Amino acid sequence: MLSQQTTIELAGYQGPGSILSASLSLLAESLNSCQLFGPVSTTLDVTAQGETAGHLFKSVNTGTRHLCYVASGYLTTLAPDLAVLDLPFTVAERTRALAALDQTAGQVLSRAVAQHSGYRVLGFWDNGFRHISNAVRPLRQPADCRGLKIRTLDSAIYRESLNALGFQAVTTDVSDLMRVIRSGDVQAQENPLTNYSNFKINEHHPYLSLTSHFFGVLLLICNEPWFRTLSEPQQQALQKAATQATQEQRALAAQQDTVL
């Protein structure tokens, strides 16, 4: 059984204005209030401390930290089955996609993640439909994409899909996103609307194309060996808090898309 004096470490990779940070904070509050754990340490944005998002994911995989969220595309090299979440232009309605993840599809993918990593999936978060912005011109047809270097996350399917549209897709960690945009190293990027606003990408990219080319899914994950050290009441409390945070995160994500 985990000592009640043990600190639980949660972390994310976006700033305080992000709906992901808000949801992580809600999760921390729930864990603190259930009084089954020791202090809950929350780092909302590891990149503000000079750490990469990639290092954050690895720290949870190895057990250095206990819990974080991660875009599914980052984990396809570990669990190839997750690539089904990254097929372009396949999701038209978010509620149907999320409902599937709450049932059999999510169970299958959770098992695949556990089989190939040290992660346990606690929930599937809504990272919104992804769209394309750029600093050069309006994008009205695939020919307009040619010659533009576009930043995307580290996913082979993301790169291949964007290259097929005519872009030159390159990968950077999220900690390097704004540097490559400001410097002009890339002329375009793709992200959900909440990130377009939260990172102030609009200050550099006046052209926004509502492509909805991917529906982004985030996995809320914890370290599986650590989870097994918890008592049954602690495991149940953690899963209950994660489920509640997942519901609240999805509501925030849907609301954000109607505001922006």
pLDDT digits 0-9 by tens, 25-56: 999 999 999 889 988 999 999 999 999 999 99
Q: Which residues pair with 247 in a beta bridge?
A: none
Asked if residue 158 has pLDDT above 90, the reply is: yes
Q: How far is CA 123 from the centre of its chain?
A: 12
Contacts 24+ apart (CB under 8 A), 97-101: 97/215, 97/217, 98/124, 98/126, 98/250, 101/217
Cα separations (Å) of 1 from 15, 67, 231, 235? Answer: 34, 18, 5, 10
Contact call for residues 192 and 130 (beta carbons, < 8 A): yes
The CA distance from 201 to 182, in Å, is: 9
pTM of the model: 0.90
Q: How far is CA 63 from the centre of its chain?
A: 19
Q: Locate tokens 């990254």: which residue?
A: 86
The CA distance from 241 to 33, in Å, is: 10
Instruction: Tell me the percentage of the chain whose pLDDT exceeds 90.
Output: 85
- Write down how long the chain is: 260
In degrees rounded to 5, what are phi and psi of residue 43? -110, 110
Asked if residue 260 has pLDDT above 70, the reply is: no
In this predicted model, what pLDDT tens digit does every residue of 105-150 receive, in sequence order?
999 999 999 999 999 999 999 999 999 999 999 999 999 999 999 9
Domain range list for the chain: 8-128+216-259, 130-214
Domains 8-128+216-259 and 130-214 share a fold: yes
Can you name the CATH fold of 130-214?
D-Maltodextrin-Binding Protein; domain 2 (3.40.190)
In this predicted model, what pLDDT tens digit does every residue of 202-219 receive, in sequence order?
999 999 999 999 999 999
Q: Which two tokens stand for residue 230?
A: 């918890």
Instruction: Tell me the percentage of the chain whose pLDDT exceeds 70.
Output: 97
Second CATH level (architecture) for the domain 8-128+216-259: 3-Layer(aba) Sandwich (3.40)
